[in-house]
Amino acid sequence: MSTECSYDYVFVYDGDSFESPLIGSFSGKTQPQQVTASSGAMLILLYSDTNYVLDGFRAEFFVTNCPNNCSDHGMCSPLHKCYCEGTWGGHDCGLDLCPEGCGKDLHRGECKMNRCHCKPGYSGQACSLYRADQSGNKWHWLSHSDGGLTPRAAHTAVYHKETDCLFVFGGYNLNSVLGNLEVYRFATSHWEDENGNELVGTDGMGQPDHQIIAAVLDRGEQRWGVPTTKSIFRNLLFSIAENSTLSIRHRAQGDGSGHLQRLGRDVKLREGQEEDAHLHRGVEESEEQGQTWDLERVNIEIPEETSHDVEELASDKEDSLVELLNEPFEFMEKKSDTPLQPAPRYGHASCIYPGGFVIYGGKLADGSFSDDLWFYNVTERTWSLRAVSSVLRPPKLTRHTLTLAGGDEGWLYLFGGSTIGGEFSSKLFRIR
């Protein structure tokens, strides 16, 4: 592949029209990874201008009944879906659900129900991350792509020490701007939505349907030496499929969140897809309607004539290097009768803050930029809009930074970013 990387692109769609989901966008001389279309059709568009004439691209195509022929770790059903063997999972049965035996020999965990259950203090896909390990300087595999959180870019992530959780908000997945808040809980090594419901992906933990079972049993005697007519194995498989208390549906294609939500033993497809927009919020409303809270204002002792809570500390204009706001600013939330939550966005910034975390700015699904400051309370699981009464407001930004300095009574510092007009900002703001 050789294209002019700034203007010439190869777009790959999963379908036969440009309205189909975009599954790849490639340029330059980077070798693309394997791209799989599951709809039965693939559309490839080479967009090129006349400034540079390079070699373009060369592609190889092949068709299989199931993804990667189930990686030789499962059977391909008549529905073109893989039924995986043993502890293998994923859409192509290429994912080891219990890698390294979950470290059982080292007393880190054990494999149960096609998943590693880690001992207290351990977490990760192979229970390799130990809380008391001070050596560091090595990577640990904590979550795979089929295990809950869908692939995305331009999102933000904040680690909250008190809950020992990683909070991920927003992002972009080539087709939709995401607005879901999802949480990785290190104690249990799984993803949750913001209401605490575990997210189940396509890692093969769901039970097969009758057609898949029938296809497996047709070759059961040949493959495993199991009788195909009357056997405990046959009866067991069909009894699992008819268990009405555990019903898992596959991800809906095109869903921005793409997760399954588990409530006890009942499983249902997450809601949140809008019919007439490419905007997928993916965040479910809390049952505690109208729940509000106030964040107490922190005062500092400085001369009255310069008393302020919001400052513009630096500017890209030479005549306004330091600008102070003399009018006091109340760090109060915007109250509303209906629950509030941030709109889907990407390119925003987030930062830890006492009691939770904050996000600022970002690019919304309609292409506009945001100048909202949102606070998420991890205990109450509620969003609240901040700085609504501030006279001085930073510009609408994307790809900026947000930093907390000074601990629990410190300031939030907002710096840089790209403005609506495409200009880069060098302004520095602070607030608490």
- Mean of pLDDT values over 341-362: 96
Q: Where are the domains of the chain?
A: 1-63, 304-431
Structural contact between residues 353 and 336, judged by C-beta atoms closer than 8 angstroms: no
Question: Angle CA(85)–CA(90)–CA(94) in degrees, nearest 5?
Answer: 70
DSSP 163: T
- Mean of pLDDT values over 129-142: 88
Give pLDDT, residue 310. Answer: 55
Band of the pLDDT at 90, cuts 50, 70, 90?
Answer: confident
Flag the least confident range among 139-153, 209-223, 395-409.
Answer: 209-223
- Mean of pLDDT values over 187-194: 89
Above 70 in pLDDT, residue 314?
A: no
Task: With CA atoms as reference, report the closest residue to 14 among 6, 24, 2.
Answer: 24
Above 60 in pLDDT, residue 186?
A: yes
DSSP 273: B
Give pLDDT, residue 213. Answer: 57
Give pLDDT, residue 162. Answer: 93
Higher-pLDDT residue of 334 and 345 is: 345
CA distance 108 to 131: 12
Q: Angle, nearest 10°, between helix axes 232-241 and 210-218?
A: 160
Band of the pLDDT at 217, cuts 50, 70, 90?
Answer: low
Higher-pLDDT residue of 287 and 337 is: 337
Give pLDDT, residue 351. Answer: 96
- Mean of pLDDT values over 83-95: 89
Band of the pLDDT at 227, cuts 50, 70, 90?
Answer: low
Above 90 in pLDDT, residue 424?
A: yes
Where is mean pLDDT largest: 53-67, 206-220, 254-268? 53-67
Cα-Cα-Cα-Cα dihedral sign, residues 393, 396, 400, 401: positive
Give pLDDT, residue 272. Answer: 38
Report percent pLDDT > 90 for the chain.
41
Give pLDDT, residue 244. Answer: 39
| Domain made up of 304-431: CATH architecture | 6 Propeller (2.120)
Backbone angles phi, psi at 233, to 5 degrees: -60, -45
Above 50 in pLDDT, residue 24?
A: yes
Above 50 in pLDDT, residue 198?
A: yes
* Mean pLDDT of all residues belonging to the chain: 75
Tell me the per-residue pLDDT of 228-283, one tens digit each, with 9 for 90 and over: 555 544 554 444 444 433 333 333 334 444 444 433 333 333 333 333 333 333 33
